[in-house]
Amino acid sequence: MVTFREMKVQEIVEDETLTTEEKIARLREIESEARGLQRAASESPMGDDDGWQDELRQVRIALDKLGAKEPRKGAASL
């Protein structure tokens, strides 16, 4: 079963009106949102499978296909 977010990722990748940089930026937004939701889900008393791991994997695959580099990791900030 394909999720809404997976369809959105595919839409972005296939959108010929967007530049590669624009596609990467939009995918990064989805990735950031999914990570935030994953963090929130991990803090709830629900089960271990928050459902966001597959979403993040789809975004990562799309970013890799577009040649996106991993963002630099810095010190955590408040």
Domain contains 72: no
Q: Is the pLDDT of residue 76 over 60?
A: no
Q: How many domains does the chain have?
A: 1
- Per-residue pLDDT tens digits for 22-75: 999 999 998 888 888 777 777 766 555 556 677 788 899 999 999 998 766 655
Domain contains 16: yes
Q: Is the pLDDT of residue 1 over 70?
A: no
pLDDT range class, residue 20, cuts 50, 70, 90: very high
pTM, two decimals, is: 0.71
Secondary structure (H, E, C), the chain: CCCHHHHHHHHHHHCCCCCHHHHHHHHHHHHHHHHHHHHHHHCCCCCCCCCHHHHHHHHHHHHHHCCCCCCCCCCCCC
Domain contains 10: yes
Domain contains 44: yes
State the pLDDT at residue 42: 72
Domain contains 25: yes
Q: Which domain holds residue 35?
A: 4-66
